[in-house]
Amino acid sequence: MVIMDDYARLFRLDGRRALVVGAGNGIGRESALALAAHGADVIAADLDAEAAAATAELAGGQGYPLDVLDGAAIQRAAAELDELDVLVFTAATNVRKRLVDYTDDDFDRVIALNLASSFRLIRAFGGPMAERGRGSIIGFSSIRATTVEPGQGVYAATKSGLIQLLRTAAAEFGPRGVRCNAIAPGIVATPLTAQIRADEAWSAAYASKSALGRWAEPSEIAGAVVFLAGDAASYITGSCLMVDGGWTAVDGRYTPPA
């Protein structure tokens, strides 16, 4: 029987080491801070070494410069940052163009960061986690994995592909104690969405699409990371948690009078 104190500890991460890739700003930064607030020993990794160090200082952890487009660098990180309990990766990019306007370079750029680097991170860190018999891997998908619009095709394909990649990892690593899940945010005020938020009409249109009628702050996504990282989610794997303010639950095009 579970006692009250056990439930109180479900969201604690004391004694666990967490690597957050993309921790220099936005959702990654807030995820690192939230994990640290719940007791985790956080390693804040980012291409921007100064930004990683700044997040690490706030989290009381370690900064780690990491270029996820460099496969060898990922392998080195996996060797150096041994004994991880949690891996969170948030790094992504988007090129907003219609498919016929996409160049091969545009395509390769989005695929490389959003999908190929995710694969390499899962492979490099998931294997050792499985050997130790424990771990939680959390990758960031998007509402665009299920709902698209003109100009989002390649980005959407990567975010849908990431869910399937994590589901496969869940199937392969699950018998050895490693859980793998995705989080799919809606519209969040991050550097990636600065172009949209700079356009008042575009920003307002997006805000009105969700059930809550507003944009999210990065800190509002961090709770989902803490949940999936720890024992509160001990029987959750191969899932995608929508954190989208109801965007994918409602029609959003028109509110009828009755």
Closest CA to 90 of 57, 51, 58, 62: 51
Which residue is catalytic, options 7, 64, 102, 155? 155
To the nearest 5 percent, what fractions of the chain are helix, strand and coil? 50, 15, 35
Give the CB-side neighbour count of residue 57, counting CA atoms within 13 A.
6
Closest CA to 140 of 155, 122, 162: 162
155 among known catalytic residues:
yes
- Contact status, residue 113 vs residue 64, Cβ threshold 8 Å: no
Residue 120 corresponds to which tokens in the numbers above?
């390499």
| Burial of residue 113 (number of CB atoms within 10 Å: 0-12, 13-18, 19+) | middle
Indicate which residues carry an active-site annotation.
Answer: 155
